Amino acid sequence: MKKENAIEIVKPHLKKKRFEHTLRVADTAEQLAGIYNESKEKATLAAIFHDYCKYRPLEEMKRCIVSTRTLPKDLLDFHHELWHGPVGSVLVEKEYGIVDRDIRSAIYYHTTGRANMSKLEMIIFLADYIEPGRDFPGVHAVRELAREDLLGACLLASKNTINHLLSKGASIYPDTFHAYNDLTKRVNGGN
């Protein structure tokens, strides 16, 4: 699928702010793909569709999770913000025939990350976090690190997100911890 087609497809599904965020994530992901030798086509498509399901009605996302064998049911025990990635990864295939596993899994894990993230998964996870419209404490350092250290930047982003969730007293999905633990191991050897 061409970039322009993908953009036309997602546009009506997103509010204006979210659509603009999506375009910036796509640019950022393309840049990261250039730095880290990943397919720019895959990075761009995954980025354009990463928030495709962000505004689906909660009942529809719930039905999708319940009826899709491959989606873990424990998602329903956590905040609904965690649903749009997994549901998006299923619906881009159903609705637009995007079967590429790398792209679908980058969409799936963009919110939480997971253990053993692929390069493309890390690029989308990070691009979503550092796109130039983002402005929260710590983002600048992650942006700088992202130019030269993909794993280190993902680790810092993951650490910041967990700290933020802890400070709010929010529950933390297992994959969010798995991403952090795995990244510490890959960066520092863990301990």
Question: CA 8, 63, 21: angle at the middle one, nearest 5?
Answer: 30
Distance of closest approach, residue 88 Cβ to Fe ion, in angstroms: 8
168 burial class (0-12, 13-18, 19+ CB within 10 angstroms)? exposed
Q: Which is nearer to ligand DGI, 12 or 169 (CB)?
A: 169
Q: Which is nearer to ligand DGI, 42 or 114 (CB)?
A: 114
Number of residues that bind ligand DGI (CB under 6 A): 17
Q: Which is nearer to Fe ion, 38 or 128 (CB)?
A: 128
Locus of tokens 């969010």: 176
Q: Report the distance separating Cα 34 and Cα 95, nearest Å.
A: 29
Q: Which is nearer to Fe ion, 121 or 128 (CB)?
A: 128
Distance of closest approach, residue 21 Cβ to ligand DGI, in angstroms: 6
Tell me if 30 contacts Fe ion by CB under 5 A: no
Among 30, 51, 175, 182, binds Fe ion (CB under 5 A): 51
**Window 38-57: contact mask with ligand DGI (x via CB under 6 A):** -------------x--x---
Stretch that binds ligand DGI, among 34-42, 73-81, 96-104, 143-151 (CB under 6 A): 73-81
E strand residue ranges, the chain: none
184 burial class (0-12, 13-18, 19+ CB within 10 angstroms)? middle
Tell which positions 127-146 bind ligand DGI, by CB under 6 A: 128
Q: Is 167 helix (H, G, I), strand (E, B) or coil?
A: helix
CA atoms within 13 A on the CB side of 94: 10
List interacting residues with Fe ion (CB under 5 A). Answer: 51, 128
